[in-house]
């Protein structure tokens, strides 16, 4: 990410550049955050605009003086153009690699916001207030819909299959409860979560929409029904079921389990 002291406008274009680039090699040493090691993530630095342009003031071929300027900024990526005043050598330099046509820093910023559970608008506003060029909120939403959410779903499906395979045929003590997106009878969505209480691991989740049942207060019971059916289909034996004192859940458990 680069500080641009002249303007702080957000860029919404994620297209990759077609110009040839001379990439500076970045250290592959692991960086740490809160005691954790991330060996696969390259270190990033915040660099001021004028300090960055100083690196290209001299021609790499003849050591002559270059006319240097920022050619364009794509979110967190900056493209520098340096033209030698003596030999005419034209150099284009990009501050980041590209992943599938998207600047690496842009997709990593969107991923860190979503996976970290922070408010995207506040993060992007803070970067803009600091003078750091960043992506637009619409770009973050596009990254989330097209790339990040499918990764989350695929990871959940894989991990759930592994958790259920370990417990197949075993009598489990499970706990279940529902949570709606708003209080009262106006909720539109409800999520029912089932946990293995001996290991504190989530083994199933069901999302219910209000129009699938008669009213929002029935979403919790429907989520429990779908969760139990899914576990039984996977060969999971239910030894004990712990829920709250929801009247309809109590009645259904008494009559069906």
The tens digit of pLDDT for each residue in 44-70 reads 889 999 999 999 999 988 989 999 999
Q: Which residue has the higher pLDDT, 230 or 216?
A: 230
The band of 185, judged by pLDDT with boundaries at 50, 70 and 90, is low
The band of 39, judged by pLDDT with boundaries at 50, 70 and 90, is low
Q: What is the pLDDT of residue 31?
A: 46
Mean pLDDT computed over 75-96: 92
Q: Which domains occur in the chain, in start order?
A: 2-24+36-150 (no CATH), 170-256 (3.30.420.10)
Answer yes or no: are the C-beta atoms of 12 and 134 closer than 8 Å: no
Question: What is the pTM (predicted TM-score) of this model?
Answer: 0.70
Q: What is the pLDDT of residue 217?
A: 82
The band of 3, judged by pLDDT with boundaries at 50, 70 and 90, is very low
Helix 247-256 vs helix 219-233: angle between axes, to the nearest 10 degrees? 30
């Amino acid at each position: 990410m680069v500080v641009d002291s002249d303007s702080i406008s957000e860029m919404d274009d994620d297209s990759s550049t077609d110009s040839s680039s001379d990439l500076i090699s970045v250290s592959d040493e692991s960086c740490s955050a809160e005691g954790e090691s991330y060996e696969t993530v390259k270190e990033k630095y915040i660099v001021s605009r004028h300090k960055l342009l100083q690196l290209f003031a001299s021609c790499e071929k003849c050591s002559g003086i270059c006319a240097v300027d920022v050619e364009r900024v794509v979110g967190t990526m900056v493209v520098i153009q340096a033209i030698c005043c003596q030999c005419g050598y034209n150099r284009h330099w990009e501050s980041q690699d590209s992943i599938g046509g998207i600047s690496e820093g842009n997709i990593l910023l969107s991923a860190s916001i979503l996976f970290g559970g922070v408010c995207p608008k506040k993060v992007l506003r803070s970067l803009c207030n600091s003078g750091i060029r960043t992506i637009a909120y619409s770009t973050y939403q596009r990254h989330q819909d097209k790339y990040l959410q499918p990764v989350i779903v695929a990871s959940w499906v894989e991990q759930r299959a592994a958790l259920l395979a370990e417990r197949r045929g075993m009598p489990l003590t499970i706990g279940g409860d529902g949570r709606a997106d708003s209080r009262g009878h106006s909720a539109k969505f409800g999520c029912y979560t089932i946990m293995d209480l001996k290991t504190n691991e989530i083994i199933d989740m069901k999302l219910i929409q209000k129009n699938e049942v008669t009213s929002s207060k029935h979403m919790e019971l429907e989520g429990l029904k779908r969760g139990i059916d899914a576990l039984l289909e996977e060969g999971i034996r239910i030894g004990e079921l712990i829920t709250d004192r929801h009247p309809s859940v109590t009645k259904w458990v008494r009559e069906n389990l």
